[in-house]
Amino acid sequence: MYRLLKVIYNLYFHPLARFPGPKLAAATHLFEFYWSIIRDGEFIWEIERMHQQYGPIIRITPRELHISDPSFYNEIYAGNPKRVEGDYRFTRSTGVTQSMFAAIDHDLHQRRRSPLTKFFSKRSISDIQPIIQDKIERLIKKLQRASKDGSVVSLTTLSAAFTADTISHYSYGVSMGCLDGEVENILTDATQAVLALSHWLRFLPIRFTNAKKLPPALVQKFFPKAATVLQTHQTISSLALEVLNANEPKAPHENMFAALADPKLPAEERNLGRLEDEGFVILAAGTETTAYSLSVTMFYLLDNPEIFSKLYDEIKAAMPDPTHCPSLSVLEHLPLLRGVVNEGLRLSMGTLTRHPRIAPDRILQYKNWAIPAGTPCSTCTYFVHTDPEIFPNPSSFDPYRWVRAAEKGQHLENHLALFLKGNRACLGINMATAEMYMLTANLVRRVKMKLHEGTTIDCVTPARDHTIVVPKDTSGIRAYVLDVE
């Protein structure tokens, strides 16, 4: 009876009752459940279809709107001083409830984010170029070995090993060492395992570490992926404990864990659970997305030899000695490299999911529609990055579109939406782009590769939303290494 009344309320009396969209989506969350869970991450394609039928603003669940109009983007993803809140059904989707990402309230989110912002400023990232270059050298050694023994390499796995080693080294001072032995990356396995469940977690609030209460042998036998997640949590947990229990506390500027354990922070903000969750978010966020963007960029470069060769010439002129990479600021000013990085970021999409934001204290006016305060609203990056008005012929890899726009003084980069905008945007933008510029420049300048026959456009074609992008073919970007300089 209650459910029936709720459906009637949702359809006829809810503040969103007059917004366009299918009745089923407005009536019940089962519609979202079907497309996200039964159809395993295909809600985005249903949202695309709904926009074609109902126009730019649609009600996609009983309580949520999706707006596909780039001109409204900055209203949803607003910056300070506007208050912007997270949506509990989304923030719980990673199972890490005490992180900054999961802080719904605007002020709490800003308080959690602020001790970490200095680590990700342009200047701080410019200072860690030697760390990034060190990981690149290790990766190139692996490629050298593959060129000698003729083995096929997975650029997807190697990119994730590179990003995992870089962020672990930078965030708490110890590299995970994925590039040192046989490439093993429990972090990337754990992230993918958690994110594959992200739609379930919108419906069922679970904190992953609760699984710790189960006997480890049982978890390993019946939920091997959860076991990987727990293993990662345990690594992070022991690092957090070390920092919290240190006799001589490290200075907060030494590394991110030390900053999170700063005695000046309120006690409730520096307990073990909080450090574990924030640690997991930083490591996971710093690994998977950038790695995917890197491997997508390499796919398109290897698939377009003419562009590759022009880029090689540009980089060679700036990097005559292949073992001496120029500074980040020099790389960022190479027009074609900049176009390649931007185009790789655009086509990789970053995430395929929707990132809802709530304006808690104001009505958002979209054309004739007054969106009530407190309504979760989103615009998926995919719709911005494939908008033909902004990016003509959007599915083609055309780095020159960025070069042409820059020459005309157009700010096409304003439409690069994968890091989102506003005060809850990605904290790691500078780090992600530094890794993209440096690894791409080094690989193009120093390594001759050829795509494996089984690596096709399907390997970079978005198919499912597991928060991150799951491509049509999940076998990864594989290549032969012909020569290394």
The residues that touch ligand HEM, with contacts defined as CB under 6 A, are 100-101, 113, 167, 281-282, 285-286, 289-290, 293, 350-351, 355, 418-420, 424, 426-428, 431-432
Query: What is the smallest separation between the CB atom of 415 and ligand HEM, expressed in angstroms?
Result: 14
Q: Give the tokens for residue 159.
A: 């990119």
Cα–Cα distance, 437 to 165 (Å, whole number): 17
**Which of 36/351 has CB closer to ligand HEM?**
351
> Closest residue (Cβ) to ligand HEM?
428
Closest CA to 432 of 333, 348, 318, 326: 348
Query: What is the smallest separation between the CB atom of 304 and ligand HEM, expressed in angstroms?
Result: 21
Cα–Cα distance, 368 to 70 (Å, whole number): 17
**Which of 226/282 has CB closer to ligand HEM?**
282
Cα–Cα distance, 162 to 153 (Å, whole number): 14
Radius of gyration of the chain (CA): 23
**Which of 10/350 has CB closer to ligand HEM?**
350
**Which of 260/319 has CB closer to ligand HEM?**
260
Query: What is the smallest separation between the CB atom of 136 and ligand HEM, expressed in angstroms?
Result: 15
Query: What is the smallest separation between the CB atom of 436 and ligand HEM, expressed in angstroms?
Result: 7
Query: What is the smallest separation between the CB atom of 45 and ligand HEM, expressed in angstroms?
Result: 19
**Which of 10/297 has CB closer to ligand HEM?**
297
Query: What is the smallest separation between the CB atom of 163 and ligand HEM, expressed in angstroms?
Result: 7
**Which of 157/290 has CB closer to ligand HEM?**
290
Count other C-beta atoms under 10 Å from residue 332's C-beta.
Answer: 13
**Which of 290/375 has CB closer to ligand HEM?**
290
Query: What is the smallest separation between the CB atom of 169 and ligand HEM, expressed in angstroms?
Result: 12
Bridge partner residues of 365 (DSSP) = 370
Q: Give the tokens for residue 187.
A: 């972090």
Query: What is the smallest separation between the CB atom of 355 and ligand HEM, expressed in angstroms?
Result: 3
Cα–Cα distance, 484 to 296 (Å, whole number): 21
Cα–Cα distance, 387 to 449 (Å, whole number): 32
**Which of 6/113 has CB closer to ligand HEM?**
113
